[in-house]
Amino acid sequence: MNAILKINQKEYAVDFSKPIDISIPLKSGKGNVSAWYVDPVKIEAVQTEQFTGSVKLGGSVNFRDITFNPHGNGTHTECVGHISVEEYSVNQCLKTFFFLAQLHTIEPKIISNGDAVITYEQINSIEIHKGAEAFILRTKPNPPEKKIMQYSNSNPPYIEAKAMKHLVDKGVKHFLIDLPSVDREFDDGVLASHHVFWNYPEKPALDRTITELIYVPNSVDDGLYLLNIQMASFENDASPSKPVIYAIEK
């Protein structure tokens, strides 16, 4: 399926038969990416005295309970409700689902305290495409093992708050990254990049989202894409999500 899209008075050609899924699948057990000390995903057949929710075990249908945490068990999209006293739902905040997106690859810089950080200088050196509402950040190194990485207590890389502010100033409303958080794992609850991105508490930007724990294969080139954020309709600060990108041509 081919389409011509008009975005900000410019036309782009998109082939919808060639999606690039940048989410990480969830499966039962320990073979998933994990962060924030959460338990592994559980997908278990419902069993009662009158019912067996497994065809393999003699039931008529497969009928399973799923237990997981959206922030720690895989690709997820979150809204300002993640850091706010007020209850905001990502299902209510995300109103549109297609965006012009810019993908860029960066190797975090090791700073004086030993942390690996995406710095303001690195982000400032990028020419942000005018009209790109979404920015997808792929970090290096980028092995396939990222899809099963155990991030808890590992002090993963994060993005400097000043760098996040620069992206916001350039018009970015949807930020996607292949790490468990935009902030340091242990920062005494400051969450500076989260607060800067959502302008909280001064004037909360309800229409902005952060998507974490994505995976962009090395075969995908940096550049402009059409992004589709697919998400389960949970009334919660975050929801498991499936961001999909499509190559575009001007």
The CATH T-level fold of domain 2-26+70-249 is Glucose Oxidase; domain 1 (3.50.30)
- Type and span of the H or E element at 235: none
Q: What angle do CA 227, 229, 230 make, to 5 degrees?
A: 135
Question: Alpha-carbon distance 186 to 141, whole Å?
Answer: 22
User: Would you place residue 51 in the very low, low, confident or very high pLDDT band (cuts 50, 70, 90)?
Assistant: very high
Residue-wise pLDDT tens digits, 79-99: 999 999 999 999 999 999 999
User: Would you place residue 174 in the very low, low, confident or very high pLDDT band (cuts 50, 70, 90)?
Assistant: very high
The residues spanned by each domain of the chain are 2-26+70-249
User: Would you place residue 23 in the very low, low, confident or very high pLDDT band (cuts 50, 70, 90)?
Assistant: very high
Q: Does position 59 have pLDDT exceeding 90, yes or no? A: yes
Q: What is the CA 133 to chain-centroid distance, rounded?
A: 15
- pTM value is 0.97
Residue-wise pLDDT tens digits, 119-136: 999 999 999 999 999 999
Instruction: Name the β-bridge partners of 33.
Output: none
Q: State the amino acid at position 97 in one-letter form.
A: F
Which segments of 99-245 does DSSP mark as H helices, in order?
Answer: 120-124, 161-169, 192-198
Q: Does position 197 have pLDDT exceeding 90, yes or no? A: yes
- Pick from 146, 158, 163: which is nearest to 185 by CA? 158
The mean pLDDT value of the chain amounts to 98
Question: Alpha-carbon distance 157 to 212, whole Å?
Answer: 12
